[in-house]
């Protein structure tokens, strides 16, 4: 595993855009979130980098880490995705600054900590912005257990997320209110995977609240979150097929908006330069942006 970082503005640490990466092996990523937490992750280059590839961010379960996604990574690689798996704060290697006692707060199930994890995803997005082989107008997030809650929390804040896949979502894991988030998620597609035994504990209610949900239920027991890998035949390919279908193809008509605004701008607009880089979000087309509640600028 290789490690290359460089300092950038706004307190983030990024891998140098000029660094030449190669597909097939993970690169250790390190960045600092907007509230000062050091996040560690792995990044896999798309196998075919001739044209910018869609991206997927992977968010693990409670008391797990980014290594839990290894079974899915190989299938995502074959499908042409750029892949980022992170250790969310207090998990795995993401335990600094030490004076923040992140590991203890995870063990204590501190809801304030979990409600701040959307910042970890924001940092991952900011890191991916530096990579020329990534097309962020095509972005998906896959979460497991509490990672589902964080995925939804972030996607509500960032309308450029095209789709999310939730492996055993809950209504309120560790203080993150997914019921309210799914109501605000809009008409974007969402796939929920669960066992029959856990379906009534959250997935059923969330799927009924979503406007465009697919709920896939398995009879196998003991398959909470990423424990599905190796126990549910075909689940990895099912996830990847869903992502490819719902993330869309490359578009020459991408538009840009601020994550804090409901106005989008066509390529070449001088208004884009007035948006802070970390707040810029890409949409594959004006039609896509408008479906998500954005509008063109007034003449």
- CATH number of the domain that residue 209 is part of: 3.40.50.1820
Instruction: Examine the domain organization and report whether 299 and 175 are in the same domain.
Output: no
Count of CB atoms situated within 10 Å of the CB of 125: 22
Instruction: Examine the domain organization and report whether 166 and 274 are in the same domain.
Output: no
- For the segment 5-15, the average pLDDT, to the nearest whole number, is 39
Instruction: Examine the domain organization and report whether 206 and 262 are in the same domain.
Output: no
Instruction: Examine the domain organization and report whether 288 and 169 are in the same domain.
Output: no
Residue 38 confidence class, pLDDT cut points 50, 70, 90: very high
Separation between Cα atoms, residue 225 and residue 213, nearest integer Å:
18
pLDDT for res 25: 83
12 three-state secondary structure? coil
Separation between Cα atoms, residue 107 and residue 234, nearest integer Å:
33
Number of folded domains that form the chain:
2
pLDDT tens, residue by residue, 108-165: 999 999 999 999 999 999 999 999 999 999 999 999 999 999 999 999 999 999 999 9
pLDDT for res 8: 35
Residue 22 confidence class, pLDDT cut points 50, 70, 90: low
pLDDT for res 299: 72
pLDDT for res 20: 62
Instruction: Examine the domain organization and report whether 132 and 200 are in the same domain.
Output: yes
Instruction: Examine the domain organization and report whether 244 and 257 are in the same domain.
Output: no
Instruction: Examine the domain organization and report whether 276 and 134 are in the same domain.
Output: no
Instruction: Examine the domain organization and report whether 242 and 259 are in the same domain.
Output: no
pLDDT for res 210: 97
Output the six-digit token pair for 272: 């884009």
pLDDT for res 249: 83
Does position 6 have pLDDT exceeding 90, yes or no? no
pLDDT tens, residue by residue, 213-271: 999 999 999 999 999 999 999 999 999 999 999 998 887 799 999 999 999 999 999 99
Residue 5 confidence class, pLDDT cut points 50, 70, 90: very low
pLDDT for res 182: 98
pLDDT for res 173: 97
Residue 267 and residue 273 in contact, taking contact as beta carbons nearer than 8 Å: no
Instruction: Examine the domain organization and report whether 160 and 257 are in the same domain.
Output: no
Does position 105 have pLDDT exceeding 70, yes or no? yes
Phi-psi category of residue 186: left, alpha or beta, with phi > 0 → left and psi -120 to 50 → alpha:
left
pLDDT for res 259: 97
Instruction: Examine the domain organization and report whether 127 and 96 are in the same domain.
Output: yes
Instruction: Examine the domain organization and report whether 207 and 106 are in the same domain.
Output: yes
Contacts 24+ apart (CB under 8 A), 111-115: 111/174, 111/175, 111/176, 112/175, 113/89, 114/146, 114/149, 114/150, 114/173, 114/174, 114/175, 114/176, 115/153, 115/175, 115/176
Residue 49 and residue 133 in contact, taking contact as beta carbons nearer than 8 Å: yes
Does position 4 have pLDDT exceeding 60, yes or no? no
- Domain containing 273 equals 251-299
Compute the half-sphere exposure of residue 203: CA atoms within 13 Å on the CB side of its CA: 26
pLDDT for res 248: 85
pLDDT for res 14: 45
Output the six-digit token pair for 56: 């997927």
Tokens 């008409």 belong to which residue?
187
Residue 49 confidence class, pLDDT cut points 50, 70, 90: low
pLDDT tens, residue by residue, 173-221: 999 999 999 999 999 999 999 999 999 999 999 999 999 999 999 999 9
Instruction: Examine the domain organization and report whether 142 and 272 are in the same domain.
Output: no
Which of 5-14, 65-74, 140-149, 233-242 has the lowest average pLDDT? 5-14
Which of 210, 234, 249 corresponds to the end of one domain?
249
pLDDT for res 24: 73
Residue 207 and residue 42 in contact, taking contact as beta carbons nearer than 8 Å: no
Residue 17 confidence class, pLDDT cut points 50, 70, 90: very low
């Amino acid at each position: 595993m290789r490690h290359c970082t460089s300092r950038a503005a706004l307190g983030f640490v990024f891998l140098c855009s000029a660094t030449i990466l190669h597909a097939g092996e993970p690169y250790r990523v390190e960045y600092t979130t907007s509230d000062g937490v050091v996040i560690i992750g792995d990044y896999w280059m798309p196998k075919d980098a001739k044209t910018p590839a869609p991206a997927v961010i992977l968010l693990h379960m409670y008391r797990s880490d980014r290594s839990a996604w290894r079974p899915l990574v190989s299938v995502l690689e074959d499908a042409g995705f750029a892949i980022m798996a992170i250790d969310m704060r207090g998990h795995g290697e993401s335990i600094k600054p030490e004076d923040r006692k992140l590991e203890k707060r995870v063990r204590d199930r501190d809801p304030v900590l979990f409600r701040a994890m959307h910042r970890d995803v924001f940092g991952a997005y900011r890191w991916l912005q530096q990579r020329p082989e990534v097309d962020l107008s095509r972005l998906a997030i896959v979460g497991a257990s509490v990672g589902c809650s964080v995925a939804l929390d972030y996607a509500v804040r960032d309308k450029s997320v095209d789709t999310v896949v939730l492996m055993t979502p809950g209504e309120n894991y560790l203080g993150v209110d997914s019921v309210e988030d799914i109501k605000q998620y809009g008409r974007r597609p969402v796939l929920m995977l669960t066992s029959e035994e856990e379906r009534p504990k959250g997935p059923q209610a969330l799927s009924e609240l979503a406007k465009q949900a697919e709920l896939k239920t398995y009879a196998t027991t003991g398959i909470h979150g990423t424990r599905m890998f190796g126990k549910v035949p075909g689940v990895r390919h099912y996830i990847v097929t869903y992502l490819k279908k719902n993330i869309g193809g490359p578009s020459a008509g991408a538009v840009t908006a601020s994550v804090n605004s409901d106005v989008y701008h066509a390529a070449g607009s001088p208004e884009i330069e007035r948006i802070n880089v970390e707040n810029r979000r890409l949409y594959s087309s004006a039609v896509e942006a408008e479906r998500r509640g954005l509008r063109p600028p007034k003449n």
